[in-house]
Amino acid sequence: MIDTKMTSAAVYRNGCVIKRKAVVSLKAGTQTLCLKGLSHSLDESSLRLSVPEGVSGSNVQIVRPTSEAQQEALRELNEKMIRLESSIKTKQKMAALWENNADFSHKESLSIEEMTDYLEKLPARLGVLSQELQELEAEKKALSRELEEARRKAGLPYVMAELQAAQAGTYPLELSYRDYGASWNPVYEIHSEDDTDSLQLRLRARVAQNTGEDWNNVALCLYTGNPSVSGSIPELASAHLRFYVPAPPMQRNMMLGAMAKAARPMEDTATLDTEAMMMEESAPMASFGGMSPVMAGSGTATKGETMTEYALSGTWDIPKDQDILCDIRTDRIACRYHVVAVPKLSEESYLAAEVATADLEELGGTPASVYLKGAFAGNVILNPDMTKDTYDLSLGVDESIKVKRLQKKRHTSQVLLKGQKKTEYEYEITVSSRKDKTVEVSILDQIPVSDEKSIVVEAQELSGGVRDEETGLVRWVFPLAAGESKALTLAWSTAWPKDKQTQEVPVRV
């Protein structure tokens, strides 16, 4: 049986390819070798044995030890454990005997001198036995660990192969195979100083392995085979006006019945929701989980036909059943900082960095952690629309900018000469700053878009906002000084045939 040493691992998003090496002494002619070091989670069909020039191999197969073979491999350690446990019991009995013999109530034949001599020797003797027992227990603990590791190794598969050497000598061998006990996931971090015209996008890799062995001094390559604070900016859908079409009576009755049925267990549902919230609050945050050792490093990225390879510099140590977090690369991205608010959907304002979508083209749907001046600010989902030139990357809620949207008017009247109904809407949007400097603010709102020729929508007041005729979205962009408040008015009217009803339908653009 020849030991092999793991030298490198190519880690994919699910699984890895491990390479192991060994140096063997071969005689001239044919001989059978057994190479150890494989794991339970390997893909047997992926095994490859590489031999140097002058050596050929045949009959390469994976062997899984029988229970009898495993017991035989552990026989010597098991016998050692039996002898050790016997010694411990003997020492324990001797200590108990010395303590019991200190009771002289039934030993009238002993003299005072003999009893005094025994009691004087008792503490020293018990101390020696206690020390010996501690040493034996420590030896047993170490042996138990050794036995557990030996038991694990005894059950591992190994490679049996016939090698033919043209002449006697020492030769290097290499094993490679796919193992499902390792994986990696990208971890993206956004670092912003809030007072520059750029931000840092840091890529890290969380590498985990439970192949059953410690990886020591292993070369690593990562392959991309197979990054919410609540800081995600709400997306405003275009509102379209259409004629309302009532549901057929049967369908409407079914809907009402379903609504009534859903309303009955409301109290029970509220209780369940409260319990779920309590459980959720008491549970640890999934994004943090167990702390992973952070290892500095750098990676050289190479783009292949179907995936990207990150070759990490140096060698790495990853204990079994653990994971590490290693740095791969850091990119600096040009950006424009501003504050974004969508008051129709949320009263929150969001600090955002406007970046070119081309800089994030590979990160659709990727979670990322945000750090502002080194402090963790929350998690966001990177979801750039590649049909647009820029993307507002949310850096979290900005509590120093307050936005309120108040309806000032909603009046419906009859337009007799045209046989129409007309409703006028007016909203006031107030933006207030508690910052100590001037910031650029972007406010998004909307006016409905008509899908019908007989539904007429007219903008009446935009307060300098820019309206997109196709989507109805209205945007205001302006500087807001420290401590300043600004009021915007958004007003429009809709007119439609008086014998019809309209409904507002959100449509993503």
Give the pLDDT band (50/70/90) at residue 303. Answer: low
Query: CB of 250 within 8 A of CB of 483?
Result: no
Q: Please give the helix or strand (H or E) that residue 283 lies within, else none.
A: none
pLDDT: which is higher, 394 or 260: 394
3-state secondary structure of 159: strand
Q: Report CA-CA distances (Å) from 51 to 26, 60, 137, 207.
A: 12, 12, 47, 30
Residue 405 corresponds to which tokens in the numbers above?
A: 């949207």
Helix axes 112-154, 67-100, angle to 10 degrees: 170
Of 118, 137, 154, the last residue of a domain is 154
Confidence tier at 407 by pLDDT (50, 70, 90): very high
Do 147 and 160 lie in a common domain? no
Q: What is the mean pLDDT of residues 291-308?
A: 56
Regarding whether 132 and 9 lie in a shared domain, the answer is: no
Residues 116 and 161 in one domain: no
Overall domain count for the chain: 2
| Burial label, 65 (beta-carbon count in 10 A; 0-12, 13-18, 19+) | middle
Task: Give dist(CA 76, CA 147) in Å, integer.
Answer: 10
Check if the beta carbon of residue 437 is closer than 8 Å to that of residue 472: no
318-329 b/e (C-beta count within 10 Å ≥ 16 → b): beeebbbebbbe
The residue among 417 and 161 whose pLDDT is bigger is 161
Token pair of 29 as six digits: 């002619």
Regarding predicted confidence, which is higher, 389 or 234? 389
Quote the pLDDT of residue 25.
92
316 in a structural domain: no
Same domain, 56 and 160: yes
Whether 74 and 150 map to the same domain: the answer is yes
**Mean pLDDT, range 8-12, rounded to an integer:** 93
Per-residue pLDDT at 253 exceeds 60: no
Amino acid at 456: V
Give one DSSP letter per residue of 235-278, joined into a string. Answer: PPPEEEEEE--PPPHHHHHHHHHHHHHHHTTHHHHHHHHHHHHH
**Looking at residue 270, what is its pLDDT?**
34
- Asked if 52 and 33 sit in the same domain, the reply is yes
Give the Cβ contact number of residue 46 at 10 Å: 13
pLDDT(237) > 90 = no
In the predicted model, is pLDDT for residue 312 greater than 80? yes
How high does pLDDT run on average in the chain? 83
Residue labelled with tokens 């009402």: 256
- Residues 411-469: pLDDT tens digits? 988 877 778 899 999 999 999 999 999 999 999 999 999 999 999 999 999 999 999 99
- DSSP classification of residue 360: G
Q: Are 496 and 455 in contact (CB under 8 A)?
A: yes
User: Do 38 and 156 contact (CB within 8 A), yes or no?
Assistant: yes
Tell me the C-alpha distance between 209 and 179, whole Å.
Answer: 10
Closest alpha carbon to 447 in 424, 467, 429:
467
Q: Closest Cα partner for 182 from 205, 204, 211?
A: 211
CA atoms within a 13 Å half-sphere pointing along the CA-CB vector of 313: 9
Say what the pLDDT of residue 254 is.
54
Domain boundary among 102, 121, 154: 154
| Residue 159, both tokens | 């490679």
Give percent of the chain with pLDDT exceeding 90.
46
pLDDT at 460: 95
60 and 73 both lie in a single domain: no
Say if 302 falls within a structural domain. no
- Average of per-residue pLDDT across 200-229: 84
Q: What is the pLDDT of residue 291?
A: 44
Do 169 and 41 sit in the same domain of this protein? Answer: yes
Domain final position from 179, 194, 216? 179
Residue 92 lies in a domain: yes
pLDDT of residue 481: 96
Which residues does 300 contact at the CB level (< 8 Å), separation at least 6? 310, 311, 313
H/E stretch holding 381: strand 375-382
Beta bridge partners, 171, equal 24
Identify the domain containing residue 102 by its residue range: 68-154
Judge whether 27 lies within some domain.
yes
Q: Are residues 60 and 166 in the same domain?
A: yes
112 in any annotated domain: yes
483 assigned to some structural domain: no
Residue bearing the bigger pLDDT, 293 or 349: 349
Given a cut of 70, whether residue 257 has pLDDT beyond it is: no
Question: Are the C-beta atoms of 359 and 333 separated by less than 8 Å?
Answer: yes
What tokens were used for 235?
């997306």
Look up residue 20 and give its two tokens. 């192991």
> Looking at the chain, how many residues does it have?
509
- 251: CB partners within 8 A, 6+ apart: none
| Residue keyed to tokens 């640890």 | 284
Residue 182: pLDDT band by 50, 70, 90 thresholds?
Answer: very high
Instruction: Find the angle CA(413)-CA(414)-CA(419) to the nearest 5 degrees.
Output: 150
Please give the average per-residue pLDDT across 325-330, as a whole number.
87
Whole-number pLDDT of residue 509:
59
* pLDDT score of 296 more than 60: no
Q: What is the pLDDT of residue 418?
A: 78
Phi-psi domain of 135 (left: phi exceeds 0; alpha: psi -120 through 50; beta: other)? alpha
| Burial annotation 146-183 (CB, 10 A radius, 16+ → b, else e) | ebeebeebbbbbbbebebebeeeeebebbbbbbbebbb
Instruction: Say if residue 83 is in the same domain as residue 36.
Output: no
Give me 230's structure tokens: 């609540």
Tell me what pLDDT residue 273 has: 35
What CATH number has the domain bearing residue 10? Answer: 2.60.40
Worst-scoring range by mean pLDDT, 193-197, 360-364, 396-400, 410-414? 193-197
Are 56 and 74 in a shared domain?
Answer: no
Looking at the DSSP assignment, which residues form a beta bridge with residue 454? Answer: none
Please, which pLDDT band fits residue 1 given cuts at 50, 70 and 90?
confident
Confidence band of 279 (pLDDT split at 50, 70, 90): very low
Determine, yes or no, domain membership for 79.
Answer: yes
Alpha-carbon gap, residue 499 to 12, rounded angstroms:
63
One-letter amino acid at 15 equals G
Q: Would 218 be classed as within a structural domain?
A: no
pLDDT higher at 250 or 50: 50
CA atoms within 13 A on the CB side of 427: 18
Task: Lowest mean pLDDT of 87-101, 233-247, 333-347, 464-478, name the range.
Answer: 233-247
Q: Please determine, for residue 503, whether its predicted confidence score (pLDDT) is greater than 90.
A: no
Query: If DSSP codes are grouped into helix, strand and coil, which group holds residue 405?
Result: strand
Measured in whole angstroms, the distance separating CA 422 from the mean position of its chain's CA atoms is 53
Mean pLDDT on 326-337: 90
Q: Which pLDDT score is estimated for 384?
A: 87
Same domain, 59 and 160: yes
124 has pLDDT over 60? yes
Considering 97-106, 247-256, 286-295, 372-381, the range whose residues carry the highest mean pLDDT is: 372-381
- Over residues 55-82, the pLDDT tens digits come to 998 888 888 888 888 888 888 999 999 9
